[in-house]
Amino acid sequence: MIKFIPVKTEDSRYAFIEDLLHESFPEKERREDAKQRYNVDKNPLFTTYLINDEDADINVGVITVWTFKNFCYVEHLATSPNIRNKGYGNKIIRTLLDGCEDITVVLEVELPEDEMSKRRIGFYVRNGFRLCTKDYLQPPYRLGGKPIPMYLMFSGCETIDEDFENIKAEIYSNVYGV
């Protein structure tokens, strides 16, 4: 059974999470470690979860979630390289959506410009997400960085078209500080 375990930086398992974030996301797709640790320990809107397979007794990944009034935003989701392509992604998404059944879940994906980004979008679609193709730029995580064109994907509602600008403003303000 997949379990999401909230973790703070003083937890010995946080090293696994930080290493996995470094390994899975280039610098331009994550904030500086000190800022990340601040959010982990002090930001009431932000939760870092260690993803654990209780049956196999292994840590399989990390998911970071921002909980806002009208939706949850999944900022990062990564699985450990040694368990990839073993069906864990589907189990993780099911666990996420089961825990958020009464609220919209939003995440960012790269534009479908290469095979990997197309596969990633397909994965989320197969797991109950819909693609919103409204123009969206991911603000830079670091000073001097450039915005990245993205799409939002969502689950838990029929559309986010009417709420798109509010969702974007909430993400921009709280997640990226702009």
Q: What is the pLDDT of residue 67?
A: 96
Distance CA 33, CA 31 (A): 6
Query: What type of residue sits at position 88?
Result: Y
Model pTM score: 0.95
Q: Are β-strands 104-110 and 71-79 bridged in parallel, bridged antiparallel, or unpaired?
A: parallel
Write the DSSP string, 122-164: HHHHHTT-EEEEEEEEEPPSSTT---EEEEEEEESSS--TTTH
Asked if the model's pLDDT at residue 101 lies above 90, the reply is: no
The string of pLDDT tens digits covering residues 105-123 is 999 999 999 999 999 999 9
Mean pLDDT, rounded, for 118-137:
96
Question: What confidence tier does 23 reach under pLDDT thresholds 50, 70, 90?
Answer: very high
Is residue 17 within 8 Å of residue 23, measured between CB atoms? Answer: no
pLDDT at 40 over 90: yes
State residue 84's pLDDT score. Answer: 85
Banded model confidence at residue 85, pLDDT cuts 50, 70, 90: confident
**102/113 Cα distance (integer angstroms):** 32
